[in-house]
């Protein structure tokens, strides 16, 4: 059972990284909008899993993306950040009891899912784009990229969760 979970997470890691760098980074919708869905790994990581492990894995995940995109450490920083704040986000999205109940993402109602995924993506993208642009002259560009990329990412991540979640029963 445990081995199975580790295996699934490894496969998920590889598939998400490859999808991101080979496919989704070349969409360039309207010239500059790309969805970043590899953070799905952090979002669906078991809620009761080890937090330190998640922070470390997020760093590796972000760094892998950075290697492909020649972006230094911006993805690593953004991933580590959302991995660290994930317990808080979970708490206000699903209520304080998320740690003791075995909540399945697909079984909760849409509003809760949306607030969880939405906040995770938004925090990730704010850190990501502020580090990438790193210049107060481009504040408008920062807000624009964050907003549009977030909308794009949230839509794709929510549909991915809906499509790939196991049906109840």
Partner 1 sequence: MQQIIFFLIRNKNFLLFIALFSISIFLTIQTHSYHKNKFVNSSNAITGGIYSIKSSITDYFNLKEENKILINENTRIRKQLESFKSKVVYQNIDTSSILSKYYFVSAKVINNSFSKTKNKLTINKGKRDSIQLDMGVITSKGIVGIIDNLSNKYATIQSILNTNSQINAKLKNAKHFGSLVWNAEDPNVIQLIDIPRLAPVKTGDTIVTGGRSTIFPEGILIGVVIDFELTEDENSQNLNIQLFNDMTNLEHVYIIDNIDTQEIINLEKGLENVE
Residues that bind partner 1 (CB under 8 A): 18, 21-22, 25, 28, 31-34, 51-52, 55-56, 59, 62-63, 66-74, 76-77, 80-81, 83-84, 131-135, 138, 141
Three-class DSSP labels, 108-154: CCHHHHHHHHHHHHHHHHHHHHHHHHCCHHHHHHHHHHHHHHHHHHH
Paired with 17 in beta bridges are: none
For residues 24 and 6, the answer to whether their CB atoms sit within 8 Å is no
Of the pair 116, 129, the CB lying nearest partner 1 is at: 129
Contacts of 166 (CB under 8 A, 6+ apart): 106
Of the pair 106, 132, the CB lying nearest partner 1 is at: 132
Helix 74-94 to helix 51-69 angle (10° resolution) is: 140
Q: Least CB distance from residue 66 to partner 1, whole Å? A: 5
Of the pair 8, 18, the CB lying nearest partner 1 is at: 18
The C-alpha atoms of residue 83 and residue 4 are separated, in whole angstroms, by 22
Q: Least CB distance from residue 63 to partner 1, whole Å? A: 7
Q: Least CB distance from residue 133 to partner 1, whole Å? A: 5
Of the pair 47, 68, the CB lying nearest partner 1 is at: 68
Q: Least CB distance from residue 153 to partner 1, whole Å? A: 15
Of the pair 86, 113, the CB lying nearest partner 1 is at: 86
For residues 153 and 125, the answer to whether their CB atoms sit within 8 Å is yes
Q: Least CB distance from residue 60 to partner 1, whole Å? A: 10
For residues 19 and 39, the answer to whether their CB atoms sit within 8 Å is no
* Structure tokens, 124: 């990730």
* Structure tokens, 7: 């295996």
């Amino acid at each position: 059972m445990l081995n199975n979970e580790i295996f699934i997470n490894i496969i998920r890691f590889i598939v998400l990284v490859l999808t991101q760098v080979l496919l989704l980074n070349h969409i360039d919708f309207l010239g500059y909008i790309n969805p970043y869905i590899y953070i799905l790994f952090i979002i669906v990581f078991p809620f009761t899993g080890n937090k330190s492990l998640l922070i470390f894995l997020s760093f590796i995940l972000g760094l892998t993306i950075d290697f492909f995109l020649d972006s230094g450490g911006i993805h690593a920083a953004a991933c580590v950040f959302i991995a660290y704040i994930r317990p808080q986000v979970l708490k206000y999205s699903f209520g304080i009891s998320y740690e003791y109940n075995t909540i399945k993402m697909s079984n909760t109602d849409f509003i809760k899912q949306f607030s969880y995924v939405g906040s995770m993506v938004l925090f990730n993208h704010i850190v990501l784009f502020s580090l990438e642009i790193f210049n107060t002259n481009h504040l408008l560009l920062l807000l624009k990229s964050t907003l549009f990329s977030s909308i794009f990412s949230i839509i794709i991540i929510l549909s991915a969760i809906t499509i790939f979640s196991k049906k109840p029963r």
